[in-house]
Amino acid sequence: MRRHLLLLPLALLAASGAAAQAPFRLPEGERMRLATQGLGWTVLRDLAAPRGAAETGMLLIRAQRPVPPAARRGHLARTLRHLRPFHFDALPAATRTEMAGLPADRLEARGIGQPSGVPVVVRATCLYGPARSWLLIASAPVADWPGLEPELTRLLDGFRPG
């Protein structure tokens, strides 16, 4: 009986079609692999990073409420300033772009990983969809960025909302 109770939620999801609808698509990386999903975040981490490293390459993805066009200017920088994993002294203005057929803002900056204190490079994108926005943040220690940047760029550019 207990086993049937555990399978019931899966059956309900399959029946509703929710199991077949992925929230997004992301290409596989050679070094970047799924590490965790929780509190609305999907986190990919660098498999090649040394065990116990204070900072590693990572890609953070989160769905957000839709951001209306009038509120988009400065939205990405405001969001980054309030994220706990990073501290920035200054952020450049975001560049308007298009991604997956949707408007987007993108910026790249150096910051400090928190609480490690390790200098990091952060490339962030906010993709503005009609039903939700997507926040994508690639980061790596400054010393590791040149080796990870091509893969992180490919992953960011390959992101597709579900």
Q: Tell me the average pLDDT across 54-83.
A: 94
Radius of gyration (Cα) for the chain, nearest Å? Answer: 17
Does position 1 have pLDDT exceeding 50, yes or no?
no
3-state secondary structure of 139: strand
Q: Among 58, 138, 134, which Cα is nearest to 99's?
A: 134
What residues have CB less than 8 Å from 131, skipping those under 6 apart? 66
Confidence band, pLDDT 50/70/90 cuts, at residue 11: very low
pLDDT the model gives residue 17: 35
- Cα→Cα distances 99→27, 132, 146, Å: 15, 14, 23
- The tens digit of pLDDT for each residue in 84-96 reads 899 999 899 999 9
Q: What is the pLDDT of residues 31-56, one digit of tens each?
A: 998 888 888 899 999 998 888 899 99
Q: What is the mean pLDDT of residues 116-128?
A: 96
Entry pTM:
0.82
The average confidence (pLDDT) of the chain is: 85
Q: What is the model's pLDDT at position 46?
A: 93
Question: What pLDDT sits at residue 19?
Answer: 35
Residue 146 phi/psi, 5-degree rounding, is: -55, -35
Q: What residue type is assigned to position 23 of the chain?
A: P
Instruction: Give me the amino acid identity at 154.
Output: R
Match 């550019």 to its residue by tokens.
157
Query: Is a pLDDT exceeding 50 seen at residue 129?
Result: yes
Banded pLDDT at 80 (limits 50, 70, 90) = very high
Q: What's the token pair of residue 52?
A: 């116990």
Instruction: Report the pLDDT averaged over residues 144-161.
Output: 93
Domains of the chain: 25-161 (3.40.1000.10)
